[in-house]
Each structure stands twice: as C-alpha cells, then as structure tokens.
Amino acid sequence: MITAQAERPEVLQAEAGDLREALAAGWADFRHAPAFGLFFAGVYVAGGWLLYWAFTTEGELWWTLPASAGFPILGPFIGCGLYEVSRRIEAGEPLSWRAVLTAIFQQKDRQIPSMAAVIVVFFLFWNFLAHMIFALFLGNAVMTNISSSLSVFATPEGLSMLGLGTVVGAVFATLLFSLTVVSLPMLLEREVDFVTAMLTSFAVVRQSPVVMLGWGALIALACFLAMVPGFLGLLLVLPLFGHASWHLYRRVIQWPEA
C-alpha cells in the first residue's frame, strides 16, 4: 500500500552497524522469497550476456549504446520489484507475482519514470564525455578494435586516458549514487516528487559521508566481482543489495507520524 505524505522526512545518522544490519535483513528477504530476486537479477544477467555477445562475437557495436541505455531505464523499475518484496515482507502482506508486478507497472504513473530519465541523462552525458576523453588522448592511435589493440592502452596516452576517465567516472558515479541511494525506495513507498526524493537522498550522504560512500564502494566492488564469472554472481549480489537498500532506507529516513 503506497502511503501519501506531503511532509519531509527526518534524515538520521547512518552508522557502520546499519550497513551490517541492512545486509543481514536483505539476505533474510532473499532467502524468504528467492524466486523474485533471481528473476529480477536474471534480467541483468541476460542483458550482460547479450552485450558481451555483441562485443565479442558479432562485432555489431552500433547498437550497444541503445542496448546499454536500456539498463539505466529498466534499473529503477527492477529495483522497485525488490523494494516491493521487502516492503511486503516487512508489513506482513502476502507475496505474489501479480502483486509485485502490478506495483512495478503502477510506477509508470508516478515519479519513478522521472528518476529513470535522470539516470539516463547521467548515462548519456558520461558516455559523451568518455568518447571525448578517448578522442583527446587516443584519437590518432592506430586501433582496429578494442579486443585486438589492447597494447595501445599501455602507452603514455592510453594510461593518461584511463586515469582521467576513471576520475571523471568516479565523480559521476558518486553524484548519481548520492541522488538515488534512498530516493528510489522513497518514491516507491511515498507520494513525493522526485526532486524532493533526490535532495533527501543527497542529504543522507552529506549527513553520513564516510558510511554512505563506503556503502556505495561496497556495492561497486561486489558488482564488479560478481560480473567476473560470466555475470552469474549478479544473481546473488543484485538481490542482496536490492533488498538491503530498502532496509538501509528504513534505517536512515524517519517520517513524521500522521
């Protein structure tokens, strides 16, 4: 049941113990309803396989940008599925595919699509900057394709490109994380506008920067390691952190009593 709420919530201090307890609660939710987590994570695993096939087998790179853009578009809606499962478990409401998928479908008329648009703009702008950085340092390099010309990245220009790209990417990732870490579960639960949700999310990170940025770094590291074994690790990591993100939101955001 979505709760209407006009008032702004109180942002609480996050501690390292909150992260441990959120992970424990997320793991409990995954074990309670594993089919939902495996289904939503499976969408991303299948997408990863598709992109890998496009890069390495067919060489059809022209459509990888629109295909990759589908990930940030679908991400908020898939995340909502995991948040809805955790919300129902927490509230003692019955779990069913119809209820969870209906909750996701209903988001099209609320604020989640606006958040998806913000994420896509970040993605496209970062993609544009990445191409500019690549052209700036390696525009004149002799390269047939990435997989057969890896040596070019070991040159001074290639190393400079990788260094600057990493720094710029980290800045974008940190900003996007700060705007979405609690805004997405908030928009699922409450009738607030997406700007208020993003500002509240940013306030959470500003209130507890070490803990929250540590949380973001943990998610990034876990997802990177999960992609190594053919993306299969995401079947565990995505549901775990998706459910845990709901519980972390509940620990750092306190709504005034009606």
Question: Tens digit of pLDDT for each residue in 157-192?
Answer: 778 888 888 888 888 889 999 999 999 999 999 989
Q: Which two tokens stand for residue 102?
A: 């209906």
Q: Measured between alpha carbons, how far is 33 from 95 in angstroms, rounded to an integer?
A: 8
Is residue 258 predicted with pLDDT exceeding 50? no
Q: Which of 53-62, 122-131, 162-171 has the lowest mean pLDDT?
A: 53-62
CA angle (168 as vertex; 162, 170 as ends), nearest 5: 95
> What separation in angstroms does the CA of 220 have from each of 30, 88, 89, 177, 253?
20, 27, 26, 10, 23
Overall pTM surpassing 0.75 (yes/no): yes
Q: Measured between alpha carbons, how far is 148 from 144 in angstroms, rounded to an integer?
A: 7
Is residue 144 predicted with pLDDT exceeding 50? no
**DSSP H helix total and E strand total for the chain:** 10, 4
Is residue 67 predicted with pLDDT exceeding 60? no
Identify whether the C-beta of residue 182 lies closer than 8 Å to the C-beta of residue 11: no
Out of 30-44, 72-86, 166-180, 224-238, the most confident range is: 30-44
* % of the chain at pLDDT higher than 90: 48
